[in-house]
Amino acid sequence: MKGLVIKSTGSSYIVRLDDGLDVECHIKGNFRIRGIRSTNPVAVGDFVVVEDGWITDVHDRQNYIIRRSTNLSKESHILAANIDQVALLVTINHPQTSTTFIDRFLATCEAYRVRALLIFNKIDLLTEEELKQLEELRALYESLGYPTLAICAKDLTGEAGITAKRSISKTVCQRSGLLRELQGCVTLLSGNSGVGKSTLLNALFGKEMTRTGKISDAHDKGMHTTTFSEMYFLPDGGAVIDTPGIKGFGSVDMSKEEVGHYFRELFATAKDCRFGNCTHTNEPGCAVQEALVRGDIAISRYESYLSLLGDCTESKYR
């Protein structure tokens, strides 16, 4: 039978069959070595073939989002497959999401041609200075064509939409920027640990869908609460795929010559470089370097580009 993988625990999978029945499935050892260079040959969002509780085949993917695995013996880890968009949840503080992390994630979305949405959470905790930083970052990414929202996930205020009933009715969807973005789409929800993914899911559905965690007082870092990936279905259409929080985002399958293609402003500017294979580091006549001096390209974006460029020759990631 054909089915959709809606949950992955690492050792088993929950598959929703075409008849609506959810069944627990496993994969056989030989399935793992069929030329699949990832820690998880089956991911949430995959359409699979099931026989007697075993996943025997995976249908061709429309797309997927992938990152370098922390397990250095493996090539990659697939976060989710067959998605319409990625919603990256970030925080200015408590904990702080680095611009390098954001830019690496966005570059991967560009590489795999998946729409990306930036959601800035915990706006209720920000100081005046941090709110100014928030607006500067939103202005930067919106100027590049990435939609952004600023929300307080715990009560769905800000641009998430305000509702005392904590529902996702049609009325609320029409008022809410976030809910409008989610409706009718399969969305991968990702971000660092502690940015509020579980809190957001619980608020969206009006009940505890997943456990929330506390921020470490000593390091102001989030602690893992989600240990597996799972797809949650929205009543009015669409679905959200929740994933464990990630600390770093390493690139996969990017050549040194390609990295600049995945930074929109660098790609647009590079056409004026003197050399077609310019790496925008120390070549003469580099239009990107000139734009950087003029302030037309953000220093944080250029530093993220250099960081990602380093991945092409190094085995580590940030």
Q: What is the pLDDT of residues 85-94, one digit of tens each?
A: 999 999 999 8
Q: Are 193 and 242 in contact (CB under 8 A)?
A: no
First and final C-alpha spacing in the chain:
41
Greater model confidence, 214 or 83: 83
Greater model confidence, 71 or 247: 247
* DSSP assignment string, 30-77: GGGGSS--SS-SS-TT-EEEEETTEEEEEPPPS-EEEE--SSTTSS-E
Confidence tier at 162 by pLDDT (50, 70, 90): very low
DSSP letter, residue 284:
T
Fold type of domain 81-242: Rossmann fold (3.40.50)
Q: Are 68 and 264 in contact (CB under 8 A)?
A: no
- Which CATH code fits 259-311? 1.10.40.50
CB atoms within 10 A of CB 211: 10
Confidence tier at 75 by pLDDT (50, 70, 90): low
Reading the block at residue 219, the tokens are: 């390091």
Does the pLDDT at position 18 exceed 90? yes
Does the pLDDT at position 292 exceed 70? yes
Distances (CA, A) of 28 to 42, 54, 221: 11, 7, 37
Query: In 176-283, which residue ranges form alpha helices assigned H by DSSP?
Result: 177-182, 197-205, 264-270
Does the pLDDT at position 100 exceed 50? yes
- Please state the length of the chain: 318
Looking at 142-146, 163-167, 280-284, which range is the least confident one? 163-167
Q: Are 106 and 147 in contact (CB under 8 A)?
A: no
Reading the block at residue 255, the tokens are: 């050549």
Q: What is the pLDDT of residue 210?
A: 63
Gap between the Cα atoms of 133 and 92, Å rounded: 8
Confidence tier at 61 by pLDDT (50, 70, 90): very high
Confidence tier at 314 by pLDDT (50, 70, 90): low
24 strand-pairing partners: 14
> What is the bridge-based pairing of β-strands 148-152 and 157-158?
antiparallel
Q: What is the pLDDT of residue 168?
A: 40
Nearest to 47 by CA among 86, 16, 85: 16
Q: What is the pLDDT of residue 274?
A: 94
Percent of the chain clearing pLDDT 90 (strictly above): 57
Tens digits of residue pLDDT in 211-227: 554 544 444 554 444 56
CA angle 225, 227, 229 (to 5 degrees): 115
Looking at 9-13, 31-35, 135-139, which range is the least confident one? 31-35
Q: Are 237 and 184 in contact (CB under 8 A)?
A: yes
Domain spans, the chain: 2-60, 81-242, 259-311
Q: What is the pLDDT of residue 310?
A: 85
Q: What is the pLDDT of residue 9?
A: 87
Distances (CA, A) of 247 to 85, 221, 250, 315: 21, 10, 10, 16
Single-letter residue type at 101: F
2-60 to CATH, choices 3.50.50.60, 2.60.120.10, 2.60.40.10, 2.40.50.140: 2.40.50.140
The whole-chain average pLDDT of the chain stands at: 82
Q: Are 104 and 70 in contact (CB under 8 A)?
A: no
C-alpha dihedral (22, 27, 32, 35), degrees to nearest 10? -60
Gap between the Cα atoms of 247 and 72, Å rounded: 15
Reading the block at residue 129, the tokens are: 């200075």
Same fold, 2-60 and 81-242: no
